[in-house]
Amino acid sequence: MPRSTWKGAVSFGLVTIPVTLYAATEEKDISFRQVHPADGGRIKYKRVCEVCGQEIPFAEIGKGYETADGRMVILEASDFNELPLPTAKQVEIVQFVDADEIDPAAYDKAYFLKADGPGAKPYVLLREGLARSHKAAVVKVALRSRESLALIRAHGDLLLLQTLLWPDELRDGQFAAPREDVAASPAEVDMASMFIDQLTAPYDPSQFTDSYRDALEQVVAAKLGDTPVPEPTTTSEGTGEVVDLVAALKASVEAAKKRREAAAKAG
């Protein structure tokens, strides 16, 4: 079982559900060390105080908040534990919404909610109510030294809490939109729709793997002498200049058909 992230209660009207929060995701990435290429030695950094010049052990490093005029406020652990913030230990449901009302760009981190002690029955009640109504609960919760907006929704047998970015944390992406005078013809849209139809299938995440991580692990194994050096993969880079979009999309549709037929035979 992973380490818990937060412990408190969810307030569902007059019903209180004691819960513990656990991270629902973990990153599977390859980590690197900063090294000196000449001898493979690791690069180390010292934490030095800019005032006295002393090296400070990590356990003695505190948290300071610098004001706009340059003053520094030193915060103690008790300052964080005793914040005058209702959401520090209590999550109150303030609204129910359709989950598809939320911009997917606002989703941040996912957590499993686990019922504690007498919380199992009201936990199931909230889970079943959300599942039947196809709604999600909007809440505010204080996690990792900050307050977040979040959704609680049914996820199989579990309740899942999904933190959301605040509105002012979402950038306006209008700068990336094509010029208004750029348009696609009906024939081009029809052909694009045919290509989408050819590649439409039920989503099965188990069919996808991290090819970059796999390739990097092959390179590492080869450098250790465990495997032969892998052949580099060559890809054709497009210029972005397509003279006939309909012809290009038609060729894409035919290629997609052949891939699906080959996959069906292999399966």
149 and 213 assigned to the same domain: no
d(CA 162, CA 148): 10
According to DSSP, residue 2 is labeled P
Total count of domains within the chain: 2
Domain boundary among 169, 188, 217: 169
The owner of tokens 């990097």 is: 216
Q: Torsions phi, psi of 17, nearest 5?
A: -115, 105
**pLDDT reported for residue 49:** 93
Identify whether the C-beta of residue 118 lies closer than 8 Å to the C-beta of residue 18: yes
Task: Check whether 132 has a pLDDT greater than 70.
Answer: yes
Q: What's the rounded mean pLDDT across residues 162-176? A: 91
Decide if 222 is inside a domain: yes
Q: Where are the beta strands (DSSP E) in 44-135?
A: 63-66, 72-75, 90-92, 95-97, 107-115
d(CA 182, CA 188): 13
The model's confidence at residue 138, banded by pLDDT at 50, 70 and 90, is: very high
155 and 194 assigned to the same domain: no
Tokens representing residue 206 in the block: 């188990």
pLDDT digits (tens, 9 = 90+) for 45-62: 899 999 999 999 998 999
CATH code (residue 18): 2.40.290.10
**pLDDT reported for residue 95:** 92
Decide if 37 is inside a domain: no
255 and 153 assigned to the same domain: no
| Nearest by Cα to 49 from 64, 36, 68, 71 | 64
Decide if 146 is inside a domain: yes
Decide if 54 is inside a domain: no
Tokens representing residue 221 in the block: 């194994």
The model's confidence at residue 262, banded by pLDDT at 50, 70 and 90, is: confident
Higher pLDDT, residue 113 or 4: 113
147 and 186 assigned to the same domain: no
Decide if 237 is inside a domain: no
Q: What is the mean pLDDT of the chain?
A: 85
Decide if 145 is inside a domain: yes
Task: Check whether 260 has a pLDDT greater than 80.
Answer: no
Task: Check whether 124 has a pLDDT greater than 90.
Answer: yes
The residue count of the chain comes to: 267
21 and 105 assigned to the same domain: yes
Task: Check whether 4 has a pLDDT greater than 70.
Answer: yes
CA 81, 83, 86, 88 torsion-angle sign: negative
d(CA 252, CA 239): 16
pLDDT digits (tens, 9 = 90+) for 85-96: 665 678 888 899
Domain boundary among 152, 169, 186: 169
pLDDT digits (tens, 9 = 90+) for 13-32: 788 899 999 999 888 888 88
**pLDDT reported for residue 143:** 80
First vs last Cα of the chain: how many Å apart? 36
190 and 227 assigned to the same domain: yes
pLDDT digits (tens, 9 = 90+) for 7-16: 889 988 788 8
165 and 182 assigned to the same domain: no
126 and 228 assigned to the same domain: no
d(CA 256, CA 5): 45
Task: Check whether 148 has a pLDDT greater than 60.
Answer: yes
The model's confidence at residue 267, banded by pLDDT at 50, 70 and 90, is: low
156 and 191 assigned to the same domain: no
pLDDT digits (tens, 9 = 90+) for 199-254: 888 888 888 888 878 888 888 888 788 777 777 766 555 545 555 777 877 788 78
The model's confidence at residue 114, banded by pLDDT at 50, 70 and 90, is: very high
| Nearest by Cα to 92 from 147, 157, 25, 169 | 147
136 and 261 assigned to the same domain: no
Higher pLDDT, residue 124 or 3: 124
217 and 260 assigned to the same domain: yes
Tokens representing residue 105 in the block: 């760009």
Element (H, E) at 256: helix 245-266
Bridge pairing between strands 90-92 and 4-12: parallel
Tokens representing residue 200 in the block: 């439409």
Decide if 19 is inside a domain: yes
Decide if 61 is inside a domain: no
19 and 135 assigned to the same domain: yes
Element (H, E) at 5: strand 4-12
Domain that holds residue 220: 178-200+207-232+245-266
